[in-house]
Amino acid sequence: MDHVSVILLIVGGTALLSLPLGAYMKWAMDPAPGQAMRWTGLFRTLGGSSAEQDWKRYLVTLLVFNVIMFTGTFAILAMQQWLPLNPDGQGALDPTLVFNTAASFTTNTNLQHYSGEASMSYLSQLAGLMWLQFVSAATGIAALAALARGIAGRPAFGNFLVDVQRASVLVLLPLAVVGALLLVLGGVPMTLQGAAEATTLDGAMQTIARGPVAAFVTIKQLGTNGGGFFGPNSTHPLENPSFWTNIVEMSAVILIPMACVWMFGRIVGRTKHAAVIFAVMAAFLIVKLAGAIAFESAPTAAFAELPVSDATGNLEGKELRLGATTGPLWAVLTTSTSNGSVGAMHDSFNPLTGLMPMAGMWLNATFGGAGVGMINMFLYIVVAVFVAGMMVGRTPEYLGHRIEAKEVRFAVLALFAHAVLILGGTALFAATPLGQTTVQDPGAHGFSEILYEFSSAAANNGSGFEGLGDGSGPWNIATGLVMLLGRYLPIILPFAIVGSLMAKTRATESAGTLGVEDATFGTMLGLTVVIFGALTFLPAAALGPLAEHFSLP
């Protein structure tokens, strides 16, 4: 019963909160004429221009700003040993690690090939990484708002530099302040002092790393970032000290991705349509949750022959204070949303439990990343509408836009790229010493470690099967490139699709138009997601988690 009540509390409670937040985000990101004038004025002044941009201009400004983000953080990380706010004297970082980390946080992935408390100065953590945790999430939210404006039939996409400030300052910042204060009250550290030196009761010396954790962790959770202050992320007792901070942190994982669906619906002016999309996403979430919790309540096969109590399920890599539901629940939430923070060690999950987070990253649209999750779902919608139109012999239309071969080609290309990045990368590293020499566990599980790492990079997730020795140069460079492609292709191609739709005359919806507000549409959309995901990734799943499951005693 405690599973059900915790799930209701977190998923149900957050779904309720997402409704007013979605309405607020519409106000903040896409104010009607006369609304939020003072803010828009300020942001226009700072952005230097108020000009409306078409999809190409908007995209260029977005990419230029992301280059500035990457460069700024690259510079801070590369010079951290000479910069202030470094009380523990952290030294220079390997150049490939600096590239990987800057790419990782710019792309909202937060894959971490380092351990924060052992490698990063407080300046690197705050001005380098935490800054990107705000502005990379804001980039995603801005992109979704712009895309929705195009779909809504506005003449232009908006202005990127105004949008990214709206998302940072009006959406993320106030939520982060509230969340951080809750975590502070829950006992999360917030200090600029260096590590504490303790002499334990046994007489040993223990160095206790700490830092400005509460501020960092909050935006990590809210912005689908996922990069922890400490190496083991939110399993660390100072990053997540109690059951109650755990509730706040898990809720923060899905809050903005859920609200993004409502914001999208409000900008395109079709809340019922958004409700159908929300229901499809929620259905996937529930299926994955039920699977993960059921698989993880089985005791670990490692203790089958030992006199170990099996009352508590598999506890390897889990924290007692967070409760039994946390491991699998967090794993599903964090991979459904492209967050990538963890509340338990995924590598130690039972094999079929480990399949659930992988499935989340393969589909990458169960609410998904801040802004970009809904954009991914838009790709599936384009395909679903096209296929449904073909099936019933009608012109495929989406909200009055005619979907034709060109748009479908772009959508399939974006979905296909996701699969190629994951499967191509996995094949290369699993077949060569590049990956073979870095796995921790033998056999099928080693393959799963490689598969998980590339899935995580391509989905901009950031979690990992952390037994993998992924700090090597080849891993840093390969996943760095995959993260960049996995971030920008699924922004560029959907922009091009909407740009193409905007150039056509919009039809008026009639009785003959395929409805997007009913269960038929929801079913069609759900099937499209399943067929794309299942067909593409089933063979890889069979070689990894499924093979491992059937080989266990």
Partner 1 sequence: MSDVISGLRVAAATMALCVAGYTALVLGVAQAVTPATANGSLVTNAAGEIVGSRLIAQAFTAPEDFWPRPSAVAYDAAGAGGSNLSPANPELTERATALIAAHGGATPERPIPADLVTASGAGLDPHISLEGALFQAERVAEARGVEISAVTSLVRAMAYAPGGVFTKGRIVNVLELNLALDTELAAPPVSE
Task: Please list every residue from 149 through 188 that binds partner 1, using CB under 8 A.
Answer: 161, 164-165, 168-169, 172-173, 176-177, 180-181, 184-185, 187-188
Q: Which of 179, 160, 162 is nearest to 170 (CA)?
A: 162
Joined tokens for residue 390:
């073909």
Q: Backbone phi, then psi, for 198, in 5-degree steps?
A: -120, 150
Residue 78 beta carbon to partner 1: minimum distance, rounded to whole angstroms: 17
Q: Which is nearer to partner 1, 136 or 376 (CB)?
A: 136
Q: What is the 3-state secondary structure (H, E, C) of 198-261?
A: EECCCCCEEEECCCCHHHHHHHHHHCCCCCCCCCCHHHCCCCCCCHHHHHHHHHHHHHHHHHHH
What's the closest the beta carbon of residue 169 comes to partner 1, in angstroms?
Answer: 6
Q: H or E element: which one contains 455?
A: helix 444-458
Minimal distance, residue 182 CB to partner 1, in Å: 11
Query: Which of 348, 364, 366, 426 contacts partner 1 by CB under 8 A?
Result: 348
Segment 189-208, which members bind partner 1 (CB under 8 A)?
A: 189-193, 195-202, 204, 206-208
Three-class secondary structure assignment of 254-292: HHHHHHHHHHHHHHHCCHHHHHHHHHHHHHHHHHHHHHH
Contact present, 142 and 53 (Cβ < 8 Å): no
Site for partner 1 in 440-499 (CB under 8 A): 440-445, 465-467
- Which of 25, 256, 344, 546: binder of partner 1 (CB under 8 A)? 344
Cα 136 to Cα 337: distance, rounded to the nearest angstrom: 15
Q: Does 383 bind partner 1 (CB under 8 A)?
A: no
- Cβ atoms of 422 and 455 within 8 Å: the answer is yes
Tally Cβ neighbours within 10 Å of residue 192.
11
CB of 537 to partner 1, least distance (A): 20
Rule CB under 8 A: say whether 121 interacts with partner 1. Answer: no
Nearest approach, Cβ of residue 514 and partner 1 (Å): 39
Which one of 35, 81, 312, 520 is in contact with partner 1 (CB under 8 A)?
Answer: 312
CB of 302 or CB of 535, closer to partner 1: 302
| Binding residue for partner 1, selected from 33, 155, 320, 505, defined by CB under 8 A | 320
Residue from 141, 215, 381, 541 that binds partner 1 (CB under 8 A)? 215
Q: Is 292 in the site for partner 1 (CB under 8 A)?
A: no
Give the nearer residue to partner 1 in terms of CB position, either 197 or 433. 197
Using CB under 8 A as the binding rule, whether residue 82 contacts partner 1 is answered as no
State the greatest distance between any 2 C-alpha atoms of the chain, in Å, as a whole number.
Answer: 79
Structure tokens at 65: 């700003």
The distance of Cα 12 from the centroid of its chain, to the nearest Å, equals 20
Instruction: Considering only the stretches 68-76, 366-374, 378-386, 389-397, report the one whose residues sit in contact with partner 1 under the rule CB under 8 A.
Output: 68-76
Least Cβ distance, residue 413 to partner 1 (angstroms): 27
In angstroms, what is the minimal distance from the CB of 193 to partner 1? 7
